[in-house]
Amino acid sequence: MSVSPEFSAMDVGNLSYRYKDFIIINPLMRGGIVPKSVTERLCDEGWLEVGYNLCHDCIEGRSSLITKPNVKEFLSEIAVFFGGDEAEHTFGCRAAQFAVMKTISEVSPDGVVLSDPNSHYSTNIAAEMCGLKVVESPHTGYPEYKVEVDSVIEKIEEIGNPALVVMTHADPYYGNLAPVKEIGKVCAEKEIPYMVNSAYTGGVMPINMKDLNADFLTLSAHKSMASIGPLGFLVTTYEWSRKVFALSKSKPDWTGRAFGKKIPNVFGCSIGGLPLVCAMNSFPYVKERVKKWDEEINKTNKFIDAMEDLGDIMLLGERPHRHHLLHFETPLFWEISKKHRRKGFFLAEEMIKRGIVGLHKGLSKHIKLSVYGLSDEEVSKVLEAFKEVAEISA
């Protein structure tokens, strides 16, 4: 079958990217913005030409063992950078969480996972896939929704030592930082396996899992490590790596084949391809930018004040805020939406008209956004746009 070189994206519908050169304020995306120099290099060097681009020089039969380019060394660097002993790349943070849950389910079948109440849904799905029951510790409720150490300890005691404690380092709802260090200390004392989901923090702020007493650190390259996705990492200690990264032992009865280099918990060979090459290229940039975390937080808190100056808008979550993910309640915009012909959609659409994308379409009572990594000029533009939209009379 020959394919015309004139094959157009239009053949499968309009595939043009509508938001090129927009300012992105979606909090899921800000930490994953790929540096321009990296995207240019990936295009120039031809990494986009084939899906299996990393596999040309694979000798050992698993992507994490490839040395040209040096994936093996890169994963060692990832482990060291986050204070762990070993790392494997995964199909996103959720796959890293799955690997942990699977391991725990083998160690403690029918075990109970204690999770913070602001966890990402993928934590619950990973547990569900592995037959583990999730129990939550309460948060403090409106308006801060904080996770407090005492309530976690109470739950640990109530359960009678769970099979795993999971804390979401920065939660996806309010951008609160959980007391991961204090809870890690409790888990270490009680010898409870401890996982920190740092999808929203690993790669934007400094993290050392040894300081947190964490046994597992799960990461998202496309959320927080300036990479395209899907890609995640699981970093662990030597105590756990032999279990979680255990090699395949299966041997089908008829052919007698074996897959001894593959790691079942990461689906054998977690291929990687373009996302992994991208993350490797971005890593030097990531290592540098985490040093500027305090500057980012100062900028974020100033932005919060400026947003609240616009009118009936208030940040939910802890104050001062210690993460870039922001969740505002916005009755100001909701009032406009009630009379606007586009109802709740007006807000995201008006922002798009002003070159700013990332608000959840249809929502006006609440918005989540981030200005992480934006220049002062860009932050001013975002604020100005919100101000203009707030002045719309429906």
Partner 1 sequence: MMIMENIRAHLGMKYNLVGVKILKEKPVDIEKPTRKLRYCEMVRKAANGEVITAEHEDIACPNAEVTLGFVEPVYVDIQPRISPAETKVVKVGPLDKIRDPDIILAILNPRQAMEVASIMDGLEAKFAGSMAVCGEATAKPYMEKKSNVTMLCGGARTFADFRDSDLIVGGPPEFFEELSKRISALSKTCVALCGCKTSDLSPRIIESFRKIGFEKGTDYFFGKVDGTNVRIYLNKDTHGKIKYITVHIPLRGVEVKAKEPLIVKKRGNWTDVAMTFGLGEAIDLNTGRGLKEAIMDILKKVSDSKVIAR
Sign, CA dihedral 319-324-325-330, equals positive
Chosen residue from 360, 378, 381, 383 binding partner 1 by CB under 8 A: 360
278-284-289-290 Cα dihedral, nearest 10 degrees: 100
Q: Based on CB atoms, which residue is closest to partner 1, 125 or 186?
A: 125
Least CB distance to partner 1 at residue 156 (A): 12
Q: Which one of the spans 62-70, 73-81, 138-146, 284-292 is the region binding partner 1 (CB under 8 A)?
A: 138-146
The window from 1-9, 179-187, 216-224, 308-316 that contacts partner 1 (CB under 8 A) reads: 308-316
Q: Which of 327, 348, 351, 385 binds partner 1 (CB under 8 A)?
A: 327
* Interacting residue with partner 1 among 31, 162, 172, 373 (CB under 8 A): 172
CB of 341 to partner 1, least distance (A): 17
Q: Do 169 and 214 form a contact (C-beta atoms < 8 A)?
A: no
Task: For partner 1, give the closer residue by CB, 144 or 378.
Answer: 144
**Near partner 1 by CB under 8 A: residue from 7, 17, 142, 238:** 142
The smaller minimum CB distance to partner 1, of residues 272 and 358, is found at: 358
Q: How many residues bind partner 1 (CB under 8 A)?
A: 32
150 binding partner 1? (CB under 8 A): no
Q: Distance from first CA to last CA of the chain, Å, rounded?
A: 55
Question: Rounded to 5 degrees, what angle do the CA atoms 330, 116, 322 make?
Answer: 55
- CB 352 → partner 1: shortest distance, Å? 18
**Percent helix, percent strand, percent coil in the chain, to nearest 5:** 40, 15, 45
Q: Of the ranges 71-79, 153-161, 175-183, 384-392, which one interacts with partner 1 (CB under 8 A)?
A: 153-161
Residue 201 CB, nearest distance to partner 1 (Å)?
17
> Which residues, numbered 103-132, are part of the site for partner 1 (CB under 8 A)?
121
Q: Is 157 in the site for partner 1 (CB under 8 A)?
A: no
Q: Counting contacts by CB under 8 A, is residue 368 touching partner 1?
A: yes
Stretch that binds partner 1, among 82-90, 103-111, 313-321, 349-357 (CB under 8 A): 313-321
**How far, in Å, CA of 22 to CA of 378, rounded?**
10
In three-state secondary structure terms, 377 is helix
- For 334, the token pair is 């909701």
What residue has token string 């001062």?
A: 320
Instruction: Give the distance, in angstroms, between the CA of residue 47 and the centroid of all CA atoms in the same chain.
Output: 24
Burial (Cβ within 10 Å: 0-12, 13-18, ≥19) of residue 322 = middle
The only residue of 51, 109, 131, 143 in contact with partner 1, by rule CB under 8 A? 143
Q: How far apart are CA 238 and CA 215, in angstroms?
A: 9
- How far is residue 153 CA from its own chain's centroid? 26
Q: What is the DSSP string of 71-105?
A: HHHHHHHHHHHTT-SEEEEESSHHHHHHHHHHHHH
Closest by CA to 117, choosing from 104, 131, 135, 132, is 135
Does the protein bind partner 1 through residue 365 (CB under 8 A)? yes
Question: Are residues 25 and 373 in contact, defined by beta-carbon separation less than 8 angstroms?
Answer: no
- 285/334 with CB nearer partner 1: 334
Q: Which positions from 6 through 65 interact with partner 1, judged by CB under 8 A?
A: 28
Nearer to partner 1, 87 or 315 (CB): 315
Between 335 and 378, CB nearer to partner 1: 335
Contacting partner 1 (CB under 8 A), which of 40, 60, 211, 312?
Answer: 312
Cα gap 124→254, rounded to integer Å = 37
Instruction: Map residues 255-294 to x or -, x wherever contact with partner 1 holds by CB under 8 A.
Output: ----------------------------------------
DSSP secondary structure string for all residues of 200-238:
TTBTTB---TTTTT-SEEEEEHHHHSS--SS-EEEEE-H
Positions in the binding site for partner 1 (CB under 8 A): 28, 121, 136-138, 141-144, 151, 154-155, 158, 172-173, 305, 308, 312, 314, 316, 319-320, 327, 329, 331, 334, 360, 362-363, 365-366, 368
